Structure 1
């Protein structure tokens, strides 16, 4: 009958409409988890309060909103189809129910309950849609990958293209941008934007932007599991490889430092026999990798200089940057200066200087390039402030070594009070709670005021501050970055130094 059809149509239409709207947020979270179902399911298990909300209210301070890439659009189409199939099954069952029971009230109740369940379980249903989408995505990705791989091979054979590959637990993006500036003093260089370090990100740049006039292509190589560096290295085919540093990052995926070492070393294993491997010999986890390497090796650092090929001495670091003498054993030495903050950035400069030396630049060109290097956004760069407050942005990511380096940087500022705003460190696996607890002690030594973003996640830091006998009246615990900046507005005064250390992505938000 017509009214039964209208009832079914109304319930089904409303269910589909609101279910698709509800699916936007889980697609966003899946995108932030790299479309990895396992990581997304882990996010669901850790955020049940969000998943069980009947309506998600978009946060005003959403840091990285859902990007409707071609992949996201294809996933949404698959998801819509999955929803339609489920609704079709519900309709068939509804017809059978009405055929046997002839009860409109029972039919309406059935439709409302099943419609609600379909709406409620969109977070889990997106996993099913993604499973259907993955085979096609792999096929598409492989096409782009092979096209880019062949283009690199062609440019290397016919245009003498050199490829510099950079990897490490941290520092690789900074070294990439520093290398771009220094190498540009004598070569035509193509760099990749921001943290483009995956096969698809690199394939896009190679296919769309790499030209045959380029002399050096700089590729950052990222990984979250074994084999991924090898995959990216097979794509870009590097002549020179740099391992910047190794430490406890992505420990929830790698589990052990040994796994991280083996993964990063895949870059070196993919170098040709006439390739050059460059290592940060100051890093305890990188040093043994350098020692076992058989191809030509360049070691850089600031410690044990008698063992190094590239090193810095007479180092002077303050709030304006750094000065030092650069030594390259086969070239000589030269005075250098940089606007970059912190001793750890001298290490990054040395990594870039090592590649510049291998690629034929002179000491003068390297020193001139170092002067021109600008701080990388969100990596210990000073942000202009009209209030007289010095704001240091180190919000991109954080790890135990980098966090301590940032604290060392603000300790160089002699005037004003030191204020830190942080949500703590993530992706450290079983070490996360302990490392955040330890950093509480380090913060206590340096900072006059502490603003902790996210009361649950920063609880270990708070305990560390408490056990360090820090004045807890100077600790402010807030739920969001907006609240943190409001507290800062009442707290700060001219000449104060404010460090924004880490800014967690939306899938870590406690709101």
Structure 2
């Protein structure tokens, strides 16, 4: 979708000043799946150390991100911006104004769905958050998503972390097990067992992305796992299991709305 919004110079200067005055982590998230769940996981972790600005997750549009930008102040310790897939010069301007320190790409899609020329073009558009990272920013990419992983050749930053299910990832999951209503377990980086109330492989990827980000915000891996196991549960309508009498229902109602 192409979206065009125009900011006059006075408003643009106001937003630039707001962003420059915020010297704490600004995290931008893009991708076809998992954005809101990654934010929810990261919020669970980061809220143990400070206040979070995140806005209305699931609505990564221009208006919501501008509203978030307007709320940016030193009362917050972390700020999240969730970006839906839009094109256009003014959406690029929005990203330049927000200028995340950390850009997370959950996934872009399958390479075989388009011709090579459009493939790279679409990949860059769908991952614009890493194109407009702050100086020395960090890009967190899904190694198992072909287009996401390939972005490392097309973005300016050399600070890149990859996550996935293969040992070649900086953060990887192995020995994944489904445990019924209790959720899933996996071994993180070949060392740490993780047990969480999640019910899909996509949520394993979401967990890895959140862990990768938190580690780069000076959290210890074991600390992160302990926080998630103690405090995390999926948002309503996003794959949470609900028990009704003796039956269990997988609530995916958000997707159907």
- The within-5 A match list for 1:78-477 is 138=6, 146-156=13-23, 161-208=24-71, 210-227=72-89, 230-247=92-109, 257-293=119-155, 294-303=157-166, 305=167, 307-319=168-180, 320-327=182-189, 333-371=191-229, 372-385=231-244, 388-397=246-255
Structure number with the bigger relative contact order (C-alpha 8 A, sep ≥ 6) is 2
How many residues align? The count is 248
Residue 190 of structure 1: CA displacement?
A: 2.3
State the Cα deviation string for residues 328-354 of structure 1 (Å, max 9, x = none): xxxx94222211211221110000001
Shift of 1:201: 0.8
Q: Distance in 2 between matches of 1:344 and 1:257?
A: 22
Shift of 1:145: 5.9
Identify if the C-alpha distance between structure 1 residues 170 and 153 changes in structure 2 by more than 3 Å, giving closer, same or farther: same
Query: Which has a greater percent of helix?
Result: 1
- Kept in 1: contact 2:196–2:228 (CA 8 A): yes
After TM superposition, give the deviation of residue 143 of structure 1 in Å: 6.4
Q: Quote how far apart the aligned CAs of 1:211 are.
A: 3.4
User: Partners of 2:108 and 2:33 in 1: how far apart?
Assistant: 7
- Tell me the distance in 2 between the aligned counterparts of 1:390 and 1:154: 48
Per the normalisation by structure 1, the TM-score is 0.44
Gaps of 5+ in 2: none
Cα distance, 1:291 vs structure 2: 4.5
Structure 2 CA distance for aligned equivalents of residues 338 and 229 of structure 1: 36
Rg larger for? 1
Is the partner of 2:21 in helix, strand or coil?
Answer: helix
Aligned structure 1 segments of 4 or more residues deviating by more than 6 angstroms: none
Q: Which residue is equivalent to 1:65?
A: none
Q: Structure 1: which 5+ residue stretches go unaligned?
A: 1-32, 37-133, 398-501, 504-511
CA distance in 1 between partners of 2:12 and 2:253 (Å): 31
Please provide the CA RMSD for this pair: 2.9
Pick the structure with more strand per residue.
2
Deviation track 1:169-205 (CA, whole Å, cap 9, x = no partner) reads 1111111111111222334332222223223212213
* Contact 2:238/2:253, CA 8 A, preserved across alignment: yes
Q: Match of 1:30?
A: none
Q: 2: CA distance between counterparts of 1:264 and 1:170?
A: 12
Specify whether residues 202 and 241 from structure 1 end up closer, same or farther in structure 2 by C-alpha distance, changes over 3 A only.
Answer: same
TM-score (ref. length: structure 2) = 0.83
